[in-house]
């Protein structure tokens, strides 16, 4: 036993100089004070987020009051009743004091009840499934490692619903009901400024309500993040939420429902030829001779009687209209796209070697060894598809 204790005390903690330990501690503590983190739940941008933030503030304030009172009582007791020189008599024994025991049972009951009621009510408020004709319905499918959004209220004249990826666009001040499922493993949908986390589970439906107060600046959408570890690129399974005013949202819907044009000249036309490689997994709805048509696979899955568009890879119909790609990870520009097309896994770690396309298991985009001409031409095509 003695030897065991010796081993314990001669460990790393003991060798670390006190100044270094203090510095590490201070760094960790002060890191919590940074106010610039965009993925914070402490600056809510909508009523649901505010409900959660208010609860956190209530609990924080009450915990602080309890902490201060308890610490003050401990410090007072230590000083007031400390052992004095020459006095080694036994302190007064309060064990079995009924009045004290009732008191320190009732006080926590009152504290817990006053925290518990608003919290339970808050959980029910936040979890309620939004219904009604003025609620925007969006179906969400989580994929390793990206997000698919299907606006079931909006479809073109051929009945194709509005499907996009990784960038959710919603109107301001509107209740949005997300009906969510997963195509593979468990993910978790989280927009810190708008709502709490909600798991996205294969073969199950979960719901989440989003309401955003104000439109977001074009280059500052709300960040979102998968919040359940789901494999190699979990940290890069991000997304953006753009909030528009109603006019801006309606214009966006009209744009998204317009099929992409097949380019007939220049680099983009050559890019459309190279696009043959992409359509093994990616779909794009293009304007063909006889109207809108899909050039890649369109897959659906059914969960609890609800049909979800659950593609093998993000739809590219309006790729150029998105501010980011790679699931909210890279700013959408030619430079990043060139790097991505040259070797996707070099900038976002994925496992394309484990893909099983016929069975719908996709773990990332492989390196197709595209020529630099193909890459240039594909960029011209994709950035043109706004
Ligand atoms: Cu999906 Cu983590």
Quote the CA–CA distance of 254 and 216 in Å, as a whole number: 20
Segment 290-302 mean pLDDT: 93
Q: Is the pLDDT assigned to residue 278 strictly greater than 50? A: yes
Q: What is the rounded radius of gyration, in angstroms, for the C-alpha atoms of the chain?
A: 28
- The chain-wide mean pLDDT, for the chain, equals 92
Asked if residue 35 has pLDDT above 80, the reply is: no
**Is the CB–ligand 1 distance for residue 234 below 6 Å?**
yes
At 81 the pLDDT is 87
d(CA 212, CA 138): 15
What is the C-alpha to C-alpha distance for residues 188 and 191, in angstroms, rounded to an integer? 10
In this prediction, what percent of the chain has a pLDDT beyond 90? 79
**17 pLDDT more than 50:** yes
Mean local confidence (pLDDT), 129-152: 96
Query: Helix (H) and strand (E) counts for the chain?
Result: 10, 16
Dist CA 63 CA 30 (whole Å): 20
Give the pLDDT confidence of 39-65 residue by residue, as tens digits. Answer: 888 899 999 999 999 999 999 999 999
- pLDDT, tens digit (0-9, with 9 covering 90-100), for 343-368: 999 999 999 999 998 888 899 999 99
Q: State mean pLDDT over 264-285.
A: 94
Angle subtended at Cα 352 by Cα 349 and Cα 356, rounded to the nearest 5 degrees: 150
Which atom of ligand 1 is the closest one to the Cα of 185? 1
Query: Counting beta carbons within 10 angstroms of the beta carbon of residue 199, is it exposed (0 to 12), middle (13 to 18) or buried (19 or more)?
Result: middle
Least confident of 29-38, 138-147, 148-157, 306-315: 29-38
Residue 310: pLDDT over 70: yes
Q: Is 201 in the pocket of ligand 1 (CB under 6 A)?
A: no
Give burial (CB, 10 Å; 0-12/13-18/19+) of 265: exposed
Q: What is the Å distance from ligand 1's center to 345 Cα?
A: 17
User: Would you say 145 and 236 are in contact if contact means Cβ atoms under 8 Å apart?
Assistant: yes
pLDDT at 86: 86
30: pLDDT confidence band, cut at 50, 70 and 90? confident
Q: What is the pLDDT of residue 2?
A: 46
Secondary structure class of 65 (helix, strand, coil)? helix
Give the pLDDT score at 18: 84
Task: Tell me, using a 6 A CB cutoff, whether residue 228 lines ligand 1.
Answer: yes
Higher local confidence (pLDDT), 229 or 32? 229
Q: Which of 232, 193, 200, 197 is nearest to 39 (CA)?
A: 193
Q: How far is CA 71 from CA 74, 94, 99, 371, in A?
A: 5, 20, 22, 68
**Two tokens at 62?**
């009450």
Give the number of the atom of ligand 1 that is nearest the alpha carbon of residue 237.
1
Whether the per-residue pLDDT at 248 is higher than 90: the answer is yes
CA of 183 to the centre of ligand 1 (A): 12
Question: In this structure, how many other beta carbons lie within 10 angstroms of the beta carbon of residue 88?
Answer: 7
Q: Is the pLDDT of residue 165 over 60?
A: yes
Per-residue pLDDT at 291 exceeds 70: yes
Q: Please tell me the chain's helix, strand, coil percentages from 3-state DSSP, rounded to the nearest 5.
A: 40, 20, 40
8 C-alpha to center of ligand 1: Å? 38
Which structure tokens are listed for 218? 């074009």
Could you tell me how far CA 120 lies from the centroid of its own chain?
24
196 φ, ψ (degrees, to nearest 5): -80, 180
Indicate which residue's Cα is closest to atom 1 of ligand 1. Answer: 187
């Amino acid at each position: 036993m003695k030897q065991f204790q010796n081993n314990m005390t001669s460990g790393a903690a003991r060798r670390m100089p006190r100044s270094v330990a203090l510095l590490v501690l201070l760094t960790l503590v002060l890191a919590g004070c940074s106010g610039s983190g965009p993925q914070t739940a402490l600056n809510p941008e909508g009523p649901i987020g505010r409900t959660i933030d208010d609860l956190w503030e209530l609990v924080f304030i009450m915990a602080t009051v309890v902490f201060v009172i308890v610490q003050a009582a401990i410090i007072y007791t230590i000083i007031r009743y400390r052992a004095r020189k020459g006095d080694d008599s036994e302190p007064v024994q309060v064990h079995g004091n009924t009045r004290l025991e009732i008191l320190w049972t009732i006080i926590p009951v009152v504290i817990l009840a006053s925290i518990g009621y608003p919290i339970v009510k808050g959980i029910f408020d936040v979890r309620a499934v939004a219904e009604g004709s003025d609620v925007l319905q969006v179906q969400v499918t989580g994929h390793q490692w990206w997000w698919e959004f299907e606006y079931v209220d909006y479809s073109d004249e051929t009945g194709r619903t509005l499907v996009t990826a990784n960038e959710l666009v919603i109107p301001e001040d509107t209740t949005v009901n997300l009906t969510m499922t997963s195509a593979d493993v468990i993910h978790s949908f989280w927009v810190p400024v708008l709502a709490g986390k909600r798991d996205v589970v294969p073969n199950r439906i979960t719901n989440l309500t989003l309401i955003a107060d104000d439109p977001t600046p074009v280059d500052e959408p709300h960040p979102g993040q998968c919040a359940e570890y789901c494999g190699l690129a979990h940290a890069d399974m991000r997304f953006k939420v753009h909030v528009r005013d109603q006019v801006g949202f309606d214009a966006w819907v009209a744009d998204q429902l317009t099929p992409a044009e097949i380019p007939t000249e220049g680099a983009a036309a050559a890019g459309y030829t190279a696009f043959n490689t992409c359509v093994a997994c990616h779909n794009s709805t293009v304007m063909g001779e006889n109207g809108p048509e899909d050039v890649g696979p369109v897959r659906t899955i059914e969960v609890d009687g609800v049909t979800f568009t659950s593609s093998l890879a993000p739809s590219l119909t309006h790729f150029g209209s998105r501010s980011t790609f790679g699931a909210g990870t890279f700013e959408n520009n030619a430079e990043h796209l060139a790097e991505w097309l040259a070797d996707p896994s070099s900038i976002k770690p994925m496992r394309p070697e484990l893909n099983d396309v016929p069975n719908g298991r996709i773990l990332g985009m492989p390196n197709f060894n595209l020529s630099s001409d193909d890459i240039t031409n594909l960029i011209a095509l994709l950035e043109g598809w706004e």
